[in-house]
Amino acid sequence: MPERAALTSEKPISEVYSEKREPSSSPKPSAVGSSGAEIILISPEGFTIEYALRFGFQASNNEAEYEALLARIRVAHALKVDSLSVYSDSQLVVNHVLGDYEARDERMAQYLELVKTSAVKFKNFTIHQIPRDQNPRTNTLSRLASAEVTDIRRSVYLEFLKDCSISSRTKIGIIDQEPSWMDTIIKFFSTSELPSEIHEARNLRVKAARYTLVEGVLYKKFFSLPYLRCLRPSESVYALQEVHEGICGQHLGGRTLAQKILRQGYYWLTMQKDAIEFTRRCKKCQNFAPISHTPVAPLTSVVSPIPFCNVGNGSARTFSNGVWTTTVLAQPQSNGQTENMNRSILQGLKKKLDEAKGAWVDELPKVLWPYRTTPHSVTGETPFLLCYGTEAMLPVDIGVPTI
C-alpha cells in the first residue's frame, strides 16, 4: 500500500514514495518482525534516497501506513528539508490528515495527532492520494520490504523500529533540566530575549555569536575544530568519569584529560579546572603517581682544572684528585620515545590491575586503546588519527552523542 506524502511550497524539495509489505487493508496484525515499509525521497534535482523500515511489533495495515508516513517526515526533517510533498495510495491516512475523515479509533487518533505535530516542522506540507498503479516502484518496494536483511541492497538505508511511534511517545515526559551556565544563551537563541540592562545585553550578544543551537542542543564554535557540544554539570561529570576511568580510560593527568575530552567534541567553561580536580580525587592516580627524583637542593658543579686532556680515538682523559681517568665515549642517547611508551603502558597496567597482577595480558588491550586515542606532545595528534585519518569513537560518544 504505497503512500506518497509531500510538504511543498511552489516546488517540492522532496517527494516520498512508500510501500508496506502487506497490501491488504485488513486490520489483522502482521507477524512480529515480518512486516516493514519502504520509502523513497526524491529531490527536485533527481537525487534519490531509499529507506527501508522493519517493524519489531505487531502492526495493522493502517498503523504501518502511519509509521511509514512518520518515517518520511522524520527523515526529511533530518535532511533539513523545508518543503515536503507526500503521495500515498492509503485513502484512510490521506483523508485523516486532510480532515475529510474523522479518526474515531483511539490509536488512529494518536497517530494523527503525532503526524500533525511533526508536520509543523516544515514550511509547507501537502499530502495527496494517488492510485496504486501510478506508483512505478510498487512491485520493487514490495519485494524489498519482504526481503531478508542480507538481501537488501547496500544503497538502501535500513531502520529497525522496536516499538511503535505512539507507544514511545507516551513514555516521554517533561524532565526538568538542571540549571547551568548555558541557560541564558539557549533562551536567547529560542526567544531572542535580551536582558534589560544595556551592558548585559551587549555581552550576551557577543557571547552568543560564539555558539549555535542545533535541534535544541547548544554547540560551541571553533576555528580549527568542529562544533563542540556544550555539557551540563551532570553530563560533564559523566564525560570525566568515562574518559578517565571507563572501559577505555587511561587515568590521564588533568590537562591531558581536558584536551582529550575537547577533541572528542565536548566543551564547558571550567573543563580544565574540573579535570585537574577530578584527577586529584582519583585514588588510583594518587597511589601510582610517578615519584619525583628532583633534588631538594640545587646541585653544585665541580670544575676540574684540566677537564679533557686528551680527546680522540673515541676516548677522553680527565684529571681528578691527582688521578688520570680514561673514559670511552659512547653513542648519543636516543630521544626516549620507546621508553616513554613503555612507561605509559606500565603505569596504565598498574592502575587497571589493582590486586590481580597476573591478569595483565587480559587488560593490555584496554591500556593500548586509550594510549592510541590520546594526543601525544611530540606530534600533537593521536596515533589512531595518524594511522586512519580520523578520530576514534569512544564510549562517551554513545552516552552523550555529538554531531
Tell whether 91 and 57 lie within a shared domain: yes
Q: Is 328 a member of any domain?
A: no
Tell whether 202 and 108 lie within a shared domain: no
Q: Is 46 a member of any domain?
A: yes
Tell whether 141 and 205 lie within a shared domain: no
Whole-number pLDDT of residue 247:
78
Question: Whole-model pTM?
Answer: 0.54
Tell whether 282 and 162 lie within a shared domain: no
Q: Is 77 a member of any domain?
A: yes
Tell whether 196 and 239 lie within a shared domain: no
Largest CA distance in the chain: 114
Tell whether 13 and 81 lie within a shared domain: yes
Closest CA to 86 of 48, 54, 41: 41
Q: Is 313 a member of any domain?
A: no
Tell whether 40 and 135 lie within a shared domain: yes
Helix, strand, coil abundance in the chain, percent, nearest 5: 40, 20, 40
Tell whether 135 and 208 lie within a shared domain: no
Q: Is 204 a member of any domain?
A: yes
Tell whether 154 and 251 lie within a shared domain: no
- What CATH number is attached to the domain comprising 119? 3.30.420.10
Domain that holds residue 248: 222-290+340-403
Q: Is 323 a member of any domain?
A: no
Q: In whole angstroms, give the CA distance from residue 132 to residue 91.
A: 11
Whole-number pLDDT of residue 72:
85
Got the DSSP string for 295-350?
-SS-------SSS-SEEETTEEEEEETTEEEEEE--PPP---HHHHHHHHHHHHHH
Map residue 155 onto helix, strand or coil: coil
Per-residue pLDDT of the chain (403 residues; tens, 9 = 90+): 344 443 333 334 444 444 433 333 333 433 344 567 777 888 887 788 877 777 777 878 888 888 888 888 888 888 888 888 888 878 888 889 888 888 888 888 888 898 888 888 888 888 888 877 766 554 454 454 445 544 444 466 777 777 788 865 444 444 456 788 888 999 898 888 888 889 989 999 999 999 998 878 899 998 877 899 999 999 999 999 999 888 778 888 888 899 889 988 899 999 999 999 999 998 888 888 777 777 778 877 766 555 544 444 455 555 566 565 655 555 566 566 777 778 888 887 887 776 666 778 888 888 888 888 888 877 888 889 899 888 888 888 888 888 7
Number of domains in the chain: 3
Q: Is 377 a member of any domain?
A: yes
Whole-number pLDDT of residue 274:
94
Whole-number pLDDT of residue 66:
87
Tell me the one-letter amino acid at 346: L
Got the DSSP string for 224-243?
SS--EEE--HHHHHHHHHHH
Q: Is 330 a member of any domain?
A: no
Tell whether 158 and 193 lie within a shared domain: no
Whole-number pLDDT of residue 332:
60
Tell whether 148 and 247 lie within a shared domain: no
Tell whether 279 and 202 lie within a shared domain: no
The position carrying cell 620507546 is 338
Closest CA to 143 of 32, 5, 20, 17: 20
